[in-house]
Amino acid sequence: MKGIVFVEFLEMVEQQFSADLADDLIDNSDLPSGGAYTAVGTYDHTEIVTLVLALSQESGIPVPDLIKAFGEYLFGRFFELYPSFFEGVSDCMDFLSRIEDVIHVEVKKLYPSAQLPKFDIDYPDRDHLVMVYHSDRHLGDLAEGLIQQSIKHFKEQITLERENLDEEGATVRFTLTRAA
Ligand code: HEM
């Protein structure tokens, strides 16, 4: 997993909890990398799970809630860091429908070692979008947070429904419907 994800996660912990807590998570987690992340480095994705578990133990907030909250935070950072992905985009579904064929394709060019999820996209009309998430990293909660924040970002009335299509969380269907 790319270091940018870790850097942003620790930044969120500093902002929403404290810098001391961010340091404690690293010190107490016995991470193979030692926790000295750089944005362009690549690290074992299980380290993010370890850090989220540690944050859950410290804060008492369940792991899925923390991962979703991180997805919401990360969307805001992506908007700041990669404005070009938002150019010429007319609305939320337009943006999300480009994840697989445009945005993550560009991400892969920027970071060839990035391990990205696969999304099957069905965008039959401007009011309906179905995104089926596939990933061995089981980060459907992260996808949910990113999608949720993208709906908020575009200030649109869209309902989001989530269905886990397997036990492990490797396949998740997100159905977006524009409210009438
Ligand atoms: C400007 C928009 C976006 C950028 C720049 C971006 C970039 C990235 C990057 C750099 C990673 C890390 C890859 C790695 O660690 O190896 C990633 C992973 C991921 N992205 Fe995106 N992304 C964007 C939007 C989205 C959106 C809107 C979604 C949800 C629909 C999404 C879903 C995910 C998920 C779930 C992962 C975790 C990896 C996995 O589940 O296998 N991304 N993305």
Cα 27 from Cα 84, distance rounded (Å): 37
Tally of CB atoms within 10 A around 4: 21
Nearest CA to ligand 1 atom 4: 78
Nearest CA to ligand 1 atom 32: 143
Nearest CA to ligand 1 atom 3: 78
Q: Where are the domains of the chain?
A: 3-61, 91-178
> What pLDDT shows up at residue 84?
95
169 φψ region: left (φ > 0), alpha (ψ -120 to 50), beta (else): left
Cα 104 from Cα 121, distance rounded (Å): 13
Tokens 């159905």 belong to 175
Distance between Cα 57 and ligand 1 center (Å):
26
> What pLDDT shows up at residue 40?
87
> What pLDDT shows up at residue 180?
74
Does residue 142 line the site of ligand 1, with CB under 6 A? yes
Which atom of ligand 1 is closest in space to residue 113's alpha carbon? 16
CATH number of 91-178: 3.90.1520.10
Which atom of ligand 1 is closest in space to residue 86's alpha carbon? 1
Cα 66-129-164 angle, rounded to 5 deg: 45
Distance between Cα 5 and ligand 1 center (Å):
9
* pLDDT per residue rounded down to tens, the chain (180 residues): 999 999 999 999 999 999 999 999 999 999 999 999 998 899 999 999 999 999 999 999 999 999 999 999 999 999 999 999 999 998 999 999 999 999 999 999 999 999 999 999 999 999 999 999 999 999 999 999 999 999 999 999 999 999 999 999 999 999 999 997
Does residue 145 line the site of ligand 1, with CB under 6 A? no
Taking the alpha carbons at both ends of the chain, their separation in whole angstroms is 39
> What pLDDT shows up at residue 93?
98
